[in-house]
Chain A
Amino acid sequence: MKRSYREALRGALRAALAGDPRVFMMGEDIGRYGGTYAVTKGLLDEFGAERIRDTPLSELGFVGAGIGAALGGMRPIVEIMTVNFSLLALDQIVNTAALYHHMSGGQFSVPLVIRVATGAGRQVAAQHSHSFENWYAHIPGIKVLAPATVEDARGMLAAALADPDPVVMFEHVQLYNLEDECPDLVEVDIVSAKVRRPGSQLSLITYGGSLPKTLVAAERLATLGIDAEVIDLRVLRPLDAPTVLASVRKCRRAVVIDECWRSGSLAAEIVALIVENAFYDLDAPPARVCSEEVPIPYAKHLEDAVLPQPEKIVDAALSLFGEPPP
């Protein structure tokens, strides 16, 4: 049946809460308010205030409490309203959650799932439009997910909860209304990247909120005679290098699309991966489409101009071919 990304996430949360008494949620306005993005709407009535736990505006405190609860035998799902506010909790995520297993000589694991809304495109200005997936993907000890499809929105949570280590899941705000066919039960892995559109002449590599834009760009490229393959990374740490490299070796050209700022971006890591491992398979230097290096502006025309867009992806792709192929 057809459902939205938001409904798929809610379905996944409901199934997790119903299926395991250790699972509970904490976050700002997830209960009575119904969730900032309405993902958790209705869950308070269904599961009660103990398990759908509204918190004060204390990101460091409640993420740390999530870590403690995970150590204490529970399976907490912590919602951080946006990635912008997750910076207030970064100490607990990086200095505690990511390190405890290794630093304790393997004695403790932190089975914590952190859900974070991310990204720009809603004219909410610089302090509410960040993309910091690359910061998290830098840290050994955590796994980083970016569901970009309704199917992954439905399926990734269960896999994240089954993981014994901390998992950070980024939900791009532009995806919540995305609709697609999706069955009630979905099983997905949190290991592999996926080919979302097969192609032969160009690899377009992306994740999260940039996937729909990239698919649009691929269709336009098709009308120009370029057969592009679209890779959805899905898992940003650890990266599925073989899938990326297989596509690049086949297509011999690559564009990486990433809403993070270009310098030090995840796109930079993907390009490094390609250059280190598939340099002699390339017919052109890899290209990147990232956000312009300015704080994200409020005015719509400026915000649109700053972010990756299908036209920019098409232009970057065409630049790799010199002249259009016959």
Chain B
Amino acid sequence: MITAPPSGPVPFDDALARGLLADMLRVRRLEEKAAELYGAGKIRGFLHLYIGEEAVAAGAMRALSAEDNVVATYREHGHALLRGMAMRSIMAEMFGKVEGCSRGHGGSMHLFDARIRLFGGNAIVGGGLPLAVGLALAERMQDSPRVTACFFGEGAIAEGAFHEAMNLAGLWRLPVLFCCENNLYAMGTALSRSEAQTDLCLKAASYGVSTLRADGQDVVAVHQTTRAALERLRNEGVPVFVEYQTYRYRAHSMFDPELYRDKSEVEAWKSRGPLHTYSARLKAEGRLSEAEFLALDSQVGDEVEDAVAYAESGTWESFDDLMRAVHTASPAA
């Protein structure tokens, strides 16, 4: 287990260094607002917050190229936003409005965007893994250089889909980047209570998949490890599995009383928080002032308020349109 908070110089140029901070802050503020709006009844259903895990999406997304495919889970607000989806579109989707990325059909768990090659938003644990294998196969068969990044939690590793997908990817040497966000709990079940072998990289390696591990609370480590993984994937022509060790600060969803973990454990992980440790490092290096941080935060706050206003003023889809959307419209129709 990693214990010391992330520290040390940030080996990136200012654009990337500040970009990563802005990325994490945008996800954090978006989700804090979403939680507030859930309380106000504007957002309903399930709402799975990524708060505490932002460094993973931020560091990983900036290592991918714009052309690559991304498959995510039901805890995917951060992935969608940092892949390039407009915050307005995400918020409108959570409100259930037709202006949302999925026309209000999906909600928080099903953010899709064909333009940025975001293939969901899959809320069946492990469900996205075979899909990612197929996307990678399609790219291979079409001689495309695209990589398919598939995000999933450590809970997915108990599913058969994980093992079947890893085997297919390893067997066929497909360009899949398996991004395992190990936040230690599958809903309320700790990894040690659900897996006989808790070394996740060992499992992946048994399928001929190359493996790497990163401190998921350290955006620097996440970004560097993901870049190394992609280099390995492209140079060696093998799928790569990366375990990002991270932690969810909030409840699993909005219905979770958190009976399964000690407050002291949560507090210990919060001391390693991805945002405040990273901004402290930039400040220590003299690359970020408190005033600059506050200005950035205020700018992000404006973006969030704009997204909320956009969602509020959105419209409801008509029932007739809903029924038509079960099948793809034929060109003649």
Chain A residues in the interface with B (C-beta under 8 A) = 24, 50, 55-56, 58, 60-74, 76, 91-92, 95-96, 100-109, 140-141, 143, 164-165
B184 within 8 A of A: no
Q: Which interface residue of B127, B131, B134 has the most chain A CB atoms within 10 A?
A: B134
B165 within 8 A of A: yes
Known interface pairs A58-B167, A107-B112. Does A72 touch B135 (Cβ–Cβ under 8 Å)? yes
Known interface pairs A73-B142, A103-B105, A105-B102. Does A65 touch B134 (Cβ–Cβ under 8 Å)? yes
B161 within 8 A of A: yes
User: In the complex, are the beta carbons of A62 and B168 less than 8 A apart?
Assistant: yes
Q: List 16 A-B contacts (CB under 8 A).
A: A24-B141, A58-B164, A58-B167, A61-B130, A61-B133, A61-B164, A61-B167, A64-B129, A64-B131, A67-B131, A71-B119, A72-B138, A91-B127, A103-B110, A105-B106, A107-B101
Expressed in whole angstroms, the Cα–Cα distance for A64 and B156 within the complex equals 15
| Residues in B whose Cβ lies below 8 Å from that of A102 | 105, 325-326
User: In the complex, are the beta carbons of A69 and B328 less than 8 A apart?
Assistant: no
Q: With contacts defined as CB atoms under 8 Å apart, how many contacts are there between chain A and chain B in the complex?
A: 149
| Residues in B whose Cβ lies below 8 Å from that of A74 | 137-138, 141-142
B124 within 8 A of A: yes
User: In the complex, are the beta carbons of A107 and B102 less than 8 A apart?
Assistant: yes
B327 within 8 A of A: yes
| Residues in B whose Cβ lies below 8 Å from that of A105 | 100-106, 112, 325
Expressed in whole angstroms, the Cα–Cα distance for A61 and B134 within the complex equals 9
Residues of B158-208 at the interface with A, using a CB-CB cut-off of 8 Å, are 160-161, 164-165, 167-168, 171
User: In the complex, are the beta carbons of A91 and B133 less than 8 A apart?
Assistant: no
User: In the complex, are the beta carbons of B168 and A55 less than 8 A apart?
Assistant: yes
B305 within 8 A of A: no
User: In the complex, are the beta carbons of B102 and A69 less than 8 A apart?
Assistant: no
User: In the complex, are the beta carbons of A72 and B105 less than 8 A apart?
Assistant: no
User: In the complex, are the beta carbons of B112 and A61 less than 8 A apart?
Assistant: no
Known interface pairs A60-B161, A96-B127. Does A68 touch B105 (Cβ–Cβ under 8 Å)? no
Q: Which interface residue of A100, A101, A106, A165 has the most chain B CB atoms within 10 A?
A: A106
| Residues in A whose Cβ lies below 8 Å from that of B326 | 101-102, 140-141
Expressed in whole angstroms, the Cα–Cα distance for A104 and B114 within the complex equals 9
B139 within 8 A of A: yes
Residues of B100-158 at the interface with A, using a CB-CB cut-off of 8 Å, are 100-106, 110, 112-114, 119-122, 124, 127, 129-139, 141-142, 148
| Residues in A whose Cβ lies below 8 Å from that of B171 | 56
Interface of B is mostly: mixed
| Residues in A whose Cβ lies below 8 Å from that of B119 | 68, 71, 108
User: In the complex, are the beta carbons of B168 and A106 less than 8 A apart?
Assistant: no
Least Cβ distance of B101 to chain A in Å? 7
Beta-carbon nearest neighbor of B140 in chain A: A50
User: In the complex, are the beta carbons of B134 and A64 less than 8 A apart?
Assistant: yes
Known interface pairs A56-B167, A74-B138. Does A101 touch B130 (Cβ–Cβ under 8 Å)? no
User: In the complex, are the beta carbons of B165 and A61 less than 8 A apart?
Assistant: yes
Expressed in whole angstroms, the Cα–Cα distance for A92 and B134 within the complex equals 12
User: In the complex, are the beta carbons of A106 and B120 less than 8 A apart?
Assistant: no
Expressed in whole angstroms, the Cα–Cα distance for A92 and B137 within the complex equals 17
User: In the complex, are the beta carbons of A72 and B139 less than 8 A apart?
Assistant: yes
User: In the complex, are the beta carbons of A104 and B135 less than 8 A apart?
Assistant: no
Least Cβ distance of A161 to chain B in Å? 14
Number of interface residues of B (CB under 8 A): 44
Known interface pairs A68-B138, A105-B102, A107-B113. Does A56 touch B133 (Cβ–Cβ under 8 Å)? no
Additional 5 contacts, C-beta under 8 A, given A61-B130, A62-B164, A65-B131: A56-B168, A64-B161, A64-B164, A65-B165, A72-B137
B69 within 8 A of A: yes
Expressed in whole angstroms, the Cα–Cα distance for A164 and B102 within the complex equals 19
Beta-carbon nearest neighbor of B174 in chain A: A65
User: In the complex, are the beta carbons of A104 and B131 less than 8 A apart?
Assistant: no
User: In the complex, are the beta carbons of A68 and B130 less than 8 A apart?
Assistant: yes
Beta-carbon nearest neighbor of B133 in chain A: A65
Q: Given B110, B130, B165, which contacts A104 in the complex, CB threshold below 8 Å?
A: B110
Expressed in whole angstroms, the Cα–Cα distance for A68 and B129 within the complex equals 9
Least Cβ distance of A69 to chain B in Å? 4
| Residues in A whose Cβ lies below 8 Å from that of B129 | 64
User: In the complex, are the beta carbons of A63 and B137 less than 8 A apart?
Assistant: no
User: In the complex, are the beta carbons of B133 and A68 less than 8 A apart?
Assistant: yes
Least Cβ distance of B274 to chain A in Å? 30
User: In the complex, are the beta carbons of A101 and B138 less than 8 A apart?
Assistant: no
| Residues in A whose Cβ lies below 8 Å from that of B136 | 68, 72
Expressed in whole angstroms, the Cα–Cα distance for A108 and B148 within the complex equals 16
| Residues in B whose Cβ lies below 8 Å from that of A67 | 130-131, 134
User: In the complex, are the beta carbons of B325 and A106 less than 8 A apart?
Assistant: yes
Least Cβ distance of A109 to chain B in Å? 4
Beta-carbon nearest neighbor of A95 in chain B: B124
Least Cβ distance of B61 to chain A in Å? 20
Known interface pairs A56-B168, A60-B161, A108-B114. Does A68 touch B124 (Cβ–Cβ under 8 Å)? no
User: In the complex, are the beta carbons of A104 and B102 less than 8 A apart?
Assistant: yes
Expressed in whole angstroms, the Cα–Cα distance for A61 and B164 within the complex equals 5
Expressed in whole angstroms, the Cα–Cα distance for A100 and B111 within the complex equals 11
Least Cβ distance of B134 to chain A in Å? 2
Beta-carbon nearest neighbor of B119 in chain A: A71
Expressed in whole angstroms, the Cα–Cα distance for A24 and B142 within the complex equals 12
Least Cβ distance of A80 to chain B in Å? 14
Residues of B71-118 at the interface with A, using a CB-CB cut-off of 8 Å, are 100-106, 110, 112-114
User: In the complex, are the beta carbons of B103 and A61 less than 8 A apart?
Assistant: no
User: In the complex, are the beta carbons of B112 and A64 less than 8 A apart?
Assistant: no
